[in-house]
Amino acid sequence: MKYIFVTALLLANLSHSFSQILKEELRSKTEKELAAIVEASSAVVGLAALDLTTGETFTINEQKLFPQASAIKIPILMEVFKQAHQRKLSLTDKKEVTRAVQVGGSGILQQFQDPVTVSLRDLCTLMISHSDNTATNVIIRTVGMERVNQTLQELGCTHTKLQRYMIDTVAAAQGRENLSTPADAVKILQLLYQGNFINREVSDQVIGVMKKNPRKNSRIAAALPAHVPIAFKPGGLVGVSTEWAIVYLHKKPYAIAVMETGRVPGDAGNTMEKLSQTVFNYFIRLGGTPYGSY
């Protein structure tokens, strides 16, 4: 019996040693691949990826500020559910959408000729799944821009700022842009995944809306197998592309934020897709056996 126990212990130690060596090799290769992808891009690129089971991270320019475009709609969504939890408002509250509040860009509410009344819950869905700018602006006026920023400060996401309404060209020309960093974005996603934004119920409500986003809108999902679930929000401006996502990979769920700015006009590029593919390839292998099979 003692011989069997010692043999089993030796085999376990050998397996662990091999697994650690394999992980170190895979991590080194992955870091080099990620750096090469970023270096080859015409844009300034930031990346943060976080293993939601172990806390392991990959980061490049993670503290750099990037314009967020529509990805900033995640903190706005969070504020709605926070205030609903505090009973400052109800998701069933009705908001009138008139021609006076309609703005261009993405969304369907701008196409309505007559005033319509929409629940706050449905405005949230439109803001995320259709990236509706009119819905977003109605929501910002409802919850308050300063409240969104106060919540971000309380969460420790001090670099993430909502500073203008959607399609506010005057504010944009004045340099008032909606900003964040890859590090802040991943921190927010981690809070949601772990149920630490207010509580599990509120966190899941926010994620539930994010999951309604059509998968075809995600550049991160474009590099993933179709069966891997994802909750995400992308954003785009001329020369700017961002995306925040929780990837529900079996055994190795992870949060990832990729941000690009200053891209050369006409450069379609696929930097985000390549970074997503490389991060996925790393985590799926770690979720396999100690010997690298899965």
Predicted pLDDT of residue 287: 75
What is the spatial distance between Cα 143 and Cα 135, in angstroms, rounded to a whole number?
A: 12
- Say what the pTM is: 0.91
DSSP 229-285: -EEEEEEEETTEEEEEEEE--TT--EEEEEEEESPPTT----HHHHHHHHHHHHHHH
39: DSSP letter: H
If we measure between CA atoms, which residue out of 251, 270, 250, 252 comes closest to residue 260? 270
Domains and CATH numbers, the chain: 40-286 (3.40.710.10)
**What integer is the mean pLDDT of 2-9?**
50
Buried/exposed code over 92-123 (b: 16+ C-beta within 10 A; e: otherwise): eeebebeeebbbebbbebbeeeeeeebebbeb
Distances (CA, A) of 38 to 64, 85, 122, 159, 181: 14, 41, 38, 22, 16
Residue 58 parent element (H or E): strand 57-60
Buried/exposed code over 4-17 (b: 16+ C-beta within 10 A; e: otherwise): eeeeeeeeeeeeee
Q: Which residue reads 């700022």 in tokens?
A: 161
pLDDT tens per residue, range 118-137 = 999 999 999 999 999 999 99
Residue 205 CB neighbour total at 10 angstroms: 21
Predicted pLDDT of residue 18: 52
Predicted pLDDT of residue 264: 83
pLDDT tens per residue, range 34-74 = 999 999 999 999 999 999 999 999 999 999 999 999 999 99
Predicted pLDDT of residue 12: 46
DSSP 105-173: SS-SGGG-SS-EEEEHHHHHHHHHHS--HHHHHHHHHHH-HHHHHHHHHHTT-TT-B--S-TT-HHHHH
Predicted pLDDT of residue 11: 41
- Angle (CA) 29-34-37 rounded to 5° is 125
What is the spatial distance between Cα 46 and Cα 70, in angstroms, rounded to a whole number?
A: 17
Predicted pLDDT of residue 40: 93
If we measure between CA atoms, which residue out of 230, 240, 225, 228 comes closest to residue 272? 240
Q: Phi and psi at residue 18, in whole multiples of 5°?
A: -65, -45
If we measure between CA atoms, which residue out of 55, 70, 77, 105 comes closest to residue 244? 70
